[in-house]
Amino acid sequence: MSDSQLSTPYGELVLGELASRVGAVGAPSTEQEQADRELAESVLWARHRESGDAAAREALILQYLPYARTIAAGLYRRHVHHETEFREYVQWATLGLIEALDRYDPTRGAKFTTYSFTRIQGAIRNGLEHISERQEQLSLRRRLVAERVEAARGGEDLSKAALPDDQLLARMAEVGTTLVLSFMLDETNMMQAPADTLPDGCYEAVAFKQEQRRLRDMLEHLTPREQSVIRMHYMQGMTYEQTAEVLRITKGRVCQLHQQALARLRRLLDPSST
């Protein structure tokens, strides 16, 4: 098969014929079929390396996808507890395969399967590490949100509170205001600020930043311990347990200081709420 036949438009039948001649990795064949396959593959590598032929690159990827999937299956079987689906293993393996294919130089003598094996396994392991890190971050965020909601509620279950309607609405408004304060205090990037979602220079973003600065300036009116709790929880993203360990106090005391600080800040921002 001549090089001119490989220069036909991307995806035409001549490429499919060449790819089918290459065949699956490790497929049984006669000596002649094996020689034809190696010749066809060498042409694909030449076109890919020398002229960046997109069709040749795709044919090579498709040829070695079963190999990448086999590696993914081997790693998947070794994990007893699966929080990640097999298709994600295959996706990572495919990315590793493509990276290896784009870096591989067949003139150096090593077989592509040998060269790509480590890269494919590495891509899968990197993906698993990122999944684990993301799960840890999500778990931390859930804990922080739960602690902030609990502080806003003051430990009170409003759904069971026997309050008149007007008092219940007022209490709910206090909780909502306290949650807004939590949002404004946050510096952990746990929540997306309006400045990130609104057009540049719009009034709402400027007003939010001004209120945020005003609120943070009020931190100096808190007691030293309250300031420490607020700064650790909102600026450093530390949980009650971590804050308690640093300050050498109980988790319950941290929760109490957190609630006191938010209540004090709410009164400073709106004296009429007292």
pLDDT tens for 38-61 read: 888 888 888 888 888 888 888 899
Asked if the model's pLDDT at residue 19 lies above 60, the reply is: no
Do 164 and 55 belong to one domain?
no
47, 53 contact by CB (below 8 A):
yes
Which whole number is the average pLDDT over 140-145? Answer: 73
Which whole number is the average pLDDT over 168-177? Answer: 64
The answer to whether residue 144 is domain-embedded is no
Range with top average pLDDT, 80-94, 135-149, 235-249: 235-249
The average confidence (pLDDT) of the chain is 75
CA–CA separation, 8 vs 1, rounded Å? Answer: 13
pLDDT of residue 183: 73
More confident of the two residues 33 and 121: 121
φ, ψ for residue 239, nearest 5 deg: -75, 175
Range of the domain at 112: 3-133
Do 100 and 165 belong to one domain?
no
The answer to whether residue 141 is domain-embedded is no
232 DSSP 8-state letter: I
199 DSSP 8-state letter: P
The answer to whether residue 11 is domain-embedded is yes
pLDDT digits (tens, 9 = 90+) for 253-271: 998 999 898 888 888 877 6
Which whole number is the average pLDDT over 242-257? Answer: 89
The answer to whether residue 53 is domain-embedded is yes
CATH number, domain with residue 22: 1.10.1740.10
Do 119 and 169 belong to one domain?
no
More confident of the two residues 36 and 166: 36
Asked if the model's pLDDT at residue 99 lies above 70, the reply is: yes
CATH number, domain with residue 173: 1.10.10.10
More confident of the two residues 11 and 15: 15
pLDDT digits (tens, 9 = 90+) for 175-202: 666 777 777 777 644 444 444 444 455 5
Among 35-49, 170-184, 197-211, 220-234, the least confident range: 197-211
The answer to whether residue 60 is domain-embedded is yes
The answer to whether residue 232 is domain-embedded is yes
φ, ψ for residue 162, nearest 5 deg: -90, 75
The fraction of the chain above a pLDDT of 70, given in percent, is: 67
Token pair listed for 252: 């319950």
The structural domain count of the chain equals 2
Residue-by-residue DSSP string for 84-144:
S-HHHHHHHHHHHHHHHHHH--GGG---HHHHHHHHHHHHHHHHHHHHHHHHHHHHHHHHH
pLDDT of residue 160: 58
Asked if the model's pLDDT at residue 120 lies above 90, the reply is: yes
Which whole number is the average pLDDT over 225-252? Answer: 87
Range with top average pLDDT, 91-105, 176-190, 196-210: 91-105
Do 163 and 95 belong to one domain?
no
Collapse the DSSP code of 53 into the 3-class scheme (helix H, G, I; strand E, B; otherwise coil) and give the result: coil
The answer to whether residue 143 is domain-embedded is no
pLDDT of residue 192: 44
